[in-house]
Homo-oligomer: A and B are copies of this chain.
């Protein structure tokens, strides 16, 4: 009776380490400060470097740390709140927002996207690449898939290229009446290309936001946005989103 479940749950070392480090971060370190390097931390705690790294990985996943090869491990600032479902339904690129069109190419979308669009697998569609920045840092990379039949007016002005062409596709989209949209959020790992744009290593954890745009009962476009999971908190909702960001 006196013994309260002692040792029935032997806590893994890396878990305990993570707790200790987390508390140290709260009390002894300032945002942006550089931690001792991994070899020294491991020695200080009397564990192998791999074990120490397991703890650091968790803390990075939780947005507490930021690690950069060749530089070091720093204390991360609180996550940035980025509005995803802000305000009314609208086509992408409608207002002066934090997105920036990069370019536009003609390519076959992933099978999952083709399924959402209702286009045959392998059929190329307009693919607009955009990047989103807040406070100068890149937070998201997006691929917007637009089947040719959604923007019939585009054929005549097909000559533009790069960012100009991307903006043209966005402008053509806005001629359509948007009847609704849909979102899904899931965990993923960054493709090599997205990772580069987001200044992360391939495989870094990301939040995938899939948005469907509806017109006349059909899916006119699908966007897949890749948000840095370590630095972002996605905010939804109509009221006072900015309050949560202060957390």
Which positions in A face B, CB cutoff 8 Å?
9, 15, 18, 58, 61-63, 79, 81, 85, 112, 115-116, 180-189, 192, 202-203, 205, 207, 210, 212, 214, 229-230, 232-241, 243-244, 247
Residues from chain B with Cβ under 8 Å of A63 in the complex: 186-187
With contact pairs A180-B239, A214-B239 given, residues A185 and B207 touching in the complex (Cβ less than 8 Å): yes
Nearest B residue to A186, CB-CB: B233
Residues from chain B with Cβ under 8 Å of A18 in the complex: 203
Choose one: B181, B188, B203, B244; the contact of A237 (CB below 8 Å). Answer: B181
Expressed in whole angstroms, the minimum distance between the Cβ of A47 and any Cβ of chain B is 16
Choose one: B112, B180, B205, B247; the contact of A247 (CB below 8 Å). Answer: B112
Give CA–CA (A230, B180) in the complex, Å.
28
Interchain CB contact under 8 A, B187 and A229: yes
Interchain CB contact under 8 A, A189 and B61: yes
Residues from chain B with Cβ under 8 Å of A192 in the complex: 9
Nearest B residue to A113, CB-CB: B247
Nearest B residue to A79, CB-CB: B186
**Supplied contacts A15-B203, A62-B188, 7 more A-B pairs, CB within 8 Å:** A15-B202, A63-B186, A79-B186, A116-B244, A181-B239, A183-B235, A187-B187
Interchain CB contact under 8 A, B235 and A182: yes
Give CA–CA (A63, B187) in the complex, Å.
8
Expressed in whole angstroms, the minimum distance between the Cβ of A16 and any Cβ of chain B is 11
